[in-house]
A and B are shown apart, each in its own frame.
Chain A
Amino acid sequence: MSSDRAGGQPGPGGQPWRGGQPGLGEQPGPGGQGASREGAPALKIDRLSVRYGHITAVASVSLELPAGAIVAVLGANGAGKSSTLGAVAGSVKAHVSGDVRLFGERVGGRPSHRIVARGMVLVPEGRRVIAPLSVEENLLLGAYRQRSHKQVRAKLGEVHELFPVLRERRGSPAGLLSGGEQQMLAFGRALMADPRVILMDEPSMGLAPAMVDRVIDAVRAINALGKSVLLVEQNAVAALRVASYAYVLDRGRIASSGSAQTMRSDPVVAEVFLGLHESASRASAEQGPGRSEAARS
């Protein structure tokens, strides 16, 4: 793990960290793309709604990811976090409305592979490694849109440096990695596309506590490479350790938001996600009405 190389945690709106590593620094910052505007947020979601038939999963969600920041989206199971990410990444099969801008450029409504081409990658929930392909093939697949063999090799080297385990197990089928290793592979694979923004869907899910720490370190390291990160997590404690700002989603709506500092001390957040985390997830699994009211009272 190379989290020690992370040069501190940039706050919202802070300058992306630009290391001396060749290649990784090439990714265009704010204003680097023709359609981008100087100073525009890395990702701006405006009144996003997602409907599956008659069921509304996300209702008019607006949020912002400043360039170079880590912003967390917290919420219980079924709060609409994954639907939000899926809609932004273009991978949900649902009715989506609202405006999504990547560095000021409108990307909403595009199919997922085009959004990748614009510089935003989703690390899906549950890792979703391509199990029968080798670790290296998974990484190469991440660089699918990059046709230059030389550049792909360079990227591969960088990812190996960041996650040495992926080099050690390069020939092994991805499905045979442990959960934590698969998460590293999912991160590495996303980095191979050389994105400006990475969306992470529950990277700590299903991992042992020690592994969660390593994942959080990796998120920090990725951010240190200059990638803006929108981190969706159920594990609020872990997420608030790296995020500078957080939104709380509840039944498809933004329930509250604020800096990580404030959120950590927010009584609602504390109760729902920090203190009563266990019972909250149980309640959400039952999808009982008035769950969050009960939690607030």
Chain B
Amino acid sequence: MPGAPAAGEMLQQLINAIVFGSVLTLFALGLSLAWGTLDVLNLAHGAVFIFAGYLTYELTRQGALSFVPALIVSMVGAGAATVALEVLAFRFIRTRFANKRQAELSMLVASIGGAIIIDQVVSNETGATTFGPPSSIFKVREYHLTGSAGITNIQILIVVVAVLAAVGLDQWVRRSRQGRAVRAVAYDPVTSGLLGVNVSFVAISTMFVAGALAGLAGVLLAVNLRAEEVAVGQDYLLTAFAILIVGGVGSVRGAVLAAYLIAIAETAVVAYGPTQWRDGIAFLLILLVLLVRPQGLFAKAQFQRA
């Protein structure tokens, strides 16, 4: 093991951590939205994420579409896949189970089923092997900073999009009429209906946004990684759980903070420590947070009078 990395390398690793944190943010936003508002712990989120990467691969490999149209179509496809789960499964579970815990568990199981189906579709279509969009759809270019450090255009795009998506989602949920309805439905769907909110429409649009965010992350990552396979979605899902728990369920700001925290911790392990333990870091953080602050760093406060 060589000594401590030089300054240029440290800067490079910092950039790496920020880019990685941005990827995690993009991935976790949709998961956090669905869980925080509709109590859907959507284990199909990773599959939808890969599905979007697959769609872009299919749409671009014959040169049919260029990057931006493929991105949009893939996001819509990912949103539609998530809406399909909502319409075919989650909705019925929500109305059938009076017990919230039971409904949550049933939706979790249903989402596993959804993940298996989506993964199977992608596996079948790709021959269960590695796939990725052609490099021609996005010319990756590196910009040199000081020393040996550099950042590529796709990495810059990921960071910018992650920040915009996080701020946009946070504002949408906090400030907009629709976001207010989403939070109300999350808290009390029956009363929301009595106030004139079309609950099933809100649920569907929320799941669409969650799915489209997974799609956005999936396409950008497919371009950045160049090669993916079905299992990549599950790998992200696992890290995203850590993010949700560390950040506090349902908190967009917490999720963003936790995403960067975990990214920096994992990158530090790679740069300085025993690399094979990088996955362990996320879980060490979960453990620490659960011990010190079980509700997560940014948990929803309890707004209920005793």
Is any CB of A less than 8 Å from a CB of B in the complex? yes
Considering the complex of A and B, which 9 residue pairs feature the smallest CB-CB distances, nearest first?
Answer: A175-B303, A116-B196, A173-B303, A112-B193, A128-B191, A145-B196, A131-B303, A132-B303, A175-B304
Interface-facing stretch out of B38-46, B106-114, B141-149, B181-189: B181-189
Digit string of A161-197 for contact with B (CB within 8 Å is 1, else 0)? 0000000000001111110000000000100010000
- The distance from the CB of B99 to the nearest CB of chain A, in whole angstroms, is 14
- Give, as a whole number of angstroms, the nearest-CB distance from B199 to chain A: 7
Is B177's beta carbon under 8 Å from chain A?
Answer: yes
Q: Are B196 and A113 in contact (CB under 8 A)?
A: yes
Q: Which of B92-131 contact A (CB under 8 A)?
A: 95
The interface-forming segment of A1-9, A41-49, A62-70, A134-142 is A134-142
* Cross-chain contact of A176 among B190, B193, B196, B303 (Cβ < 8 A): B303
Instruction: Contact check, A131 vs B304: say whether CB atoms are below 8 A apart.
Output: yes
Nearest-neighbor residue (CB-CB) of B196 within chain A: A116
Chain A: minimal CB distance from B16 (Å): 37
Q: Does B195 contact A (CB under 8 A)?
A: yes
> How many A residues touch the partner, as a band?
20 to 34
**Which residue of B187, B192, B197, B198 contacts A131 across the interface (Cβ within 8 Å)?**
B187
Question: Assuming A132-B300, A141-B181, what are 10 further A-B pairs, CB within 8 angstroms?
Answer: A90-B193, A91-B194, A93-B95, A113-B196, A121-B194, A124-B194, A137-B183, A141-B197, A174-B303, A175-B305
A94 at the interface (CB under 8 A from B): no
* Minimum CB–CB distance for A149 against chain B, Å: 9
CB pairs A–B below 8 angstroms (7 shown): A113-B193, A124-B191, A137-B180, A141-B192, A173-B301, A176-B305, A177-B305
A-B contact count (CB 8 A): 85
Interface residue tally of chain B, by bracket? 20 to 34
At the interface, is chain B mostly helix, strand, loop or mixed? helix
Complex interface: chain A residues within 8 A of B302 (CB): 175
CB-CB under 8 A from B95, the residues of chain A are 93
- Where the two chains meet, the residues of B that have a C-beta atom closer than 8 Å to any C-beta of A are 95, 177, 180-181, 183-184, 187-188, 190-199, 300-305
Q: How many angstroms from the CA of A131 to the CA of B190 in the assembled complex?
A: 14
Task: Determine if B191 and A113 form an interchain contact, defined as CB atoms under 8 angstroms apart.
Answer: no
**Interface core residue of A90, A147, A173 (most chain B CB under 10 Å):** A173
CB-CB under 8 A from B187, the residues of chain A are: 130-133
Q: How far is the CA of A145 from the CA of B305 in the complex (A)?
A: 29
A132 touching B183 by the CB < 8 A rule?
A: yes
Q: Check if A73 is an interface residue, CB within 8 A of chain B.
A: no
> Cβ of A111 < 8 Å from any Cβ of B?
yes
| Across-interface contacts of A89 in B (CB, < 8 A) | 194
Q: How far is the CA of A124 from the CA of B194 in the complex (A)?
A: 8
Give Cα A189–Cα B177 distance, bound, in whole angstroms: 15
Q: Which of A124, A130, A145 contacts B183 (CB 8 A)?
A: A130
Closest Cβ of chain B to A122, distance in Å, is 5
**Contact status B197-A144, CB under 8 Å:** yes
- Tell yes or no: A117 within 8 A of B by CB: yes
Given contacts A91-B190, A130-B183, A131-B187, contact A144 B304 (CB under 8 A): no
Residues of the A chain whose Cβ atoms lie less than 8 Å from the Cβ of B301: 132, 173
A112 in contact with B181 given A93-B95, A175-B305 (CB within 8 Å):
no
Q: Are B197 and A113 in contact (CB under 8 A)?
A: yes
Contact of A141 among B180, B190, B303 (CB under 8 A): B180
